[in-house]
Amino acid sequence: MNWFSAAIVFVIVWWLVLFMVLPFGAAPPDEVEPGMANSAPSRPRLGLKFLLTTLIALAVAAVLLVVVVLPAGEIRATAPVRHGESDETPRRKAVFSASGRAKSPCRASRSGTRGAPT
């Protein structure tokens, strides 16, 4: 992932977190002044909310970027090993025919060699 993509991810996460953080501590004033909405907070503390939003967004974006950038092989290496299987157990790979269909490597070929008269 390049820097531009990482910046876009951060901006999107920042905006999402901002809308989650905005209601924190929002309390309507005791006395409503004329011309103001009844639901307007008395002390919005936007500077503190922007700082909190930035810190939370940095953490969330870092986790997202690590998950996206981390190769799948490293994730599998940290996964628990299944019962009766070691890390050295070879995995069978699918064999593909010319038509693109997967064939099992254990089955005999269907090219007419099995059961053909001799």
pLDDT tens per residue across span 58-116 = 999 999 888 888 766 565 555 565 666 565 655 555 555 556 565 555 555 555 555 55
Number of Cα atoms under 13 Å in the Cβ half of residue 88: 0
- H-helix or E-strand spanning residue 12: helix 3-21
pLDDT of residue 117: 57
pLDDT digits (tens, 9 = 90+) for 29-60: 888 888 888 888 888 899 999 999 999 999 99
The rounded distance, in Å, linking the Cα atoms of 93 and 84 is 19
pTM of the model: 0.56
